[in-house]
Amino acid sequence: MRKNTFEWFRLDNAAKIFPGQNSQSWSNIFRLGIVLKEKVEPERLEKALEKTLSRIPSFNVEIRHGFFWFYFKRNPNKATVGQDIRNICYRVKFKENDGFLFRLYYHENRVNLDVYHALCDGYGAMVFLSTLIGEYLRLGGHTVSCNQIVLDVNEKPRVEELEDSYSKYADSKVKYNRRDKWVYHPKGTKAPRHFNNYTSGTMSFMQLRAIAKKYGATVTELLAALLIDVHYKKQLAENKKQREICIQVPVNLRKAFPSESLRNFVLCLRVKIDPNLGEYTFEEIIRSVSLQLKLANDPKLLNSLMTQNLKIERNPVARLLPLAVKNLGVGITFMITAEQTTTSLLSNLGPVVLPEDMACHVEKYYLYTGAGIVNSARCGVVSLGDNLVFTFSNCHKESDIEREFFTRLIKMGVHVKIESNRI
């Protein structure tokens, strides 16, 4: 391994977009949290963090401005942990927090990791947090084995974990160009600046899977269909011009391509229904969602989508544009596309498989996707054992979408326990 591999490296294809989207009040940041069965000791957590950062150096970086592109550079500062705050996932500034693009918090028996999306996707954050907690437990005298998401901190970092897998695997001859319309967005009262609303519901994974099976769908498909149905009914009640309802569903590309990267390697699929086509029952929505996801989740199609996304990055003229111009372009594109073409987001990290000797110390994980700007309710899902946590990140004060969603689940026979940072 070359010595300078971890000194600096380029941003991956997805990460290149995020700095251009930053504003004074918003940046693309998400939270992955873990609930332990014991109270967290901050000193031990800080020691574990130091070791984890040396094992996963893609987190031990600061972002720098180049003339043409942003790049990551190894951060010489020492990362610290802090007491948790109520206004989670507030915006990132590159010079704050000693340059680190993640923030690690503790509160009672919880450890929370707020990550800037340019660093990694949900899977990368999951590996980082699980490795950190694994080491934290080891420092407390417990025996914790390693697996795919709990890495051995005594091993050396591998180059494959830092690679830009988009550039490596995007080689399709066809560039699939999606054309998306502006879609429905629920209106509401904006939450105060830097203080979005986060609500999570803990439920039984087995119960949910049994219901999904009844509809012939997976848990993700069931939840996406329910989210669409809630928005669909809300829009019908508003009695205005009906627009499409489109849910963005990120797909972990590591399942389709043999990547070991701990950086971004995710692609967003879109599932939608058009109310102008006629009335939809919940069964019809779930069937449509299921078919759309199955159809889109094809490695060849994903490859062509990736290749399309890389088109601009590979364009020699675009590469030569100064960073400020690129940022302006990204900002404008983000304003008129991105969230305008999606009603909501549903990010499902899936079931987390921890080593048995670690799983007995952990109660559950949760994922807050970070509130959007016009997407009123963005959702994150993650499950550990039978504990599935569904979270809403909402930029509006109103909680009608969350209420409708969870009460629908209760009517289906799922027991839901609610937590929220709302005051």
Partner 1 sequence: MSYCVNCGVELDKSAKKCALCSAPVINPLENTQQESPAPFADKVYMPKEVEKRLIAAVVSTVMTIPNIVCVLLNAFVFTNSFWSAYLCSTSFLVWVLFVFPFFLRKAKPLVLLAFDSVVSGLYLFLLNHLLGGKWFFGCALPIVAVNAVLVLVYILWAHKKRHWVHKLLCICSLLATSVLSIGVILDFGGGVNYALEAGVIVFCCVLAVVAFLGYCFASKTVRTWLSERFFI
Choose, by CB under 8 A, the member of 98, 283, 356, 419 that binds partner 1. Answer: 419
How far apart CA 135 and CA 344 sit, in angstroms, is: 36
C-alpha torsion sign, points 93, 99, 101, 107: negative
H-state helical runs in 239-355:
282-296, 299-314, 316-320, 323-336
Instruction: Specify the residue, 340 or 421, whose C-beta has the smaller distance to partner 1.
Output: 421
Choose, by CB under 8 A, the member of 10, 44, 47, 107 that binds partner 1. Answer: 107
Choose, by CB under 8 A, the member of 145, 315, 337, 407 that binds partner 1. Answer: 407
Question: Where in 15-34 is the site for partner 1 (CB under 8 A)?
Answer: 24
Helix (H) or strand (E) run with residue 346 in it: strand 344-352
417 binds partner 1 (CB under 8 A): yes
Amino acid identity, residue 221?
A: E
38 binds partner 1 (CB under 8 A): no
- Give min distance, CB of 407 to partner 1, in A: 5
Instruction: Specify the residue, 173 or 241, whose C-beta has the smaller distance to partner 1.
Output: 241
How far apart CA 118 and CA 109 sit, in angstroms, is: 28
327 binds partner 1 (CB under 8 A): no
Pick the piece of the chain touching partner 1 (CB under 8 A) from 91-99, 313-321, 331-339, 378-386. Answer: 91-99
Choose, by CB under 8 A, the member of 74, 86, 294, 311 that binds partner 1. Answer: 86
Q: Which long-range contacts (CB under 8 A, 24 or more apart) does 316-321 make?
A: 319/68, 320/68, 321/68
97 C-beta neighbours (distance < 10 Å), count = 18
418 binds partner 1 (CB under 8 A): yes
User: Are 72 and 64 contacting, i.e. CB atoms less than 8 angstroms apart?
Assistant: yes
Q: In what order do the strands lie in the sheet with 362-368?
A: 81-83, 102-107, 110-116, 29-36, 362-368
Q: What are the backbone dihedrals phi and psi of residue 142, each rounded to the nearest 5 degrees, phi first? A: -90, 155
Structure tokens at 333: 């594109």
Instruction: Specify the residue, 90 or 365, whose C-beta has the smaller distance to partner 1.
Output: 90
Distances in Å between the alpha carbon of 200 and those of 13, 111, 129, 417, 418? 31, 16, 19, 8, 6
Choose, by CB under 8 A, the member of 3, 4, 83, 276 that binds partner 1. Answer: 83
For residue 420, count CB atoms less than 10 angstroms from its CB and return exposed for 0-12, middle for 13-18, buried for 19 or more: middle
Of the candidates 105, 116, 51, 60, which has an alpha carbon nearest to the alpha carbon of residue 81? Answer: 105
- Give min distance, CB of 194 to partner 1, in A: 6
Question: Where in 183-222 is the site for partner 1 (CB under 8 A)?
Answer: 194-195, 199, 201
- Give min distance, CB of 254 to partner 1, in A: 31
Choose, by CB under 8 A, the member of 44, 51, 73, 110 that binds partner 1. Answer: 110
393 binds partner 1 (CB under 8 A): no
Q: If DSSP codes are grouped into helix, strand and coil, which group holds residue 139? A: helix
177 binds partner 1 (CB under 8 A): no
User: Are 107 and 83 contacting, i.e. CB atoms less than 8 angstroms apart?
Assistant: yes
98 binds partner 1 (CB under 8 A): no
Biggest CA–CA distance in the chain, Å, is 62
416 binds partner 1 (CB under 8 A): yes
Choose, by CB under 8 A, the member of 44, 73, 91, 243 that binds partner 1. Answer: 91
Pick the piece of the chain touching partner 1 (CB under 8 A) from 246-254, 300-308, 345-353, 397-405. Answer: 397-405
- Give min distance, CB of 144 to partner 1, in A: 25
Instruction: Specify the residue, 91 or 243, whose C-beta has the smaller distance to partner 1.
Output: 91
Instruction: Specify the residue, 135 or 402, whose C-beta has the smaller distance to partner 1.
Output: 402
In the complex, the residues that contact partner 1 under the rule CB under 8 A are: 24, 83-88, 90-91, 93, 96, 105, 107-110, 194-195, 199, 201, 399, 402-403, 406-407, 410, 415-422
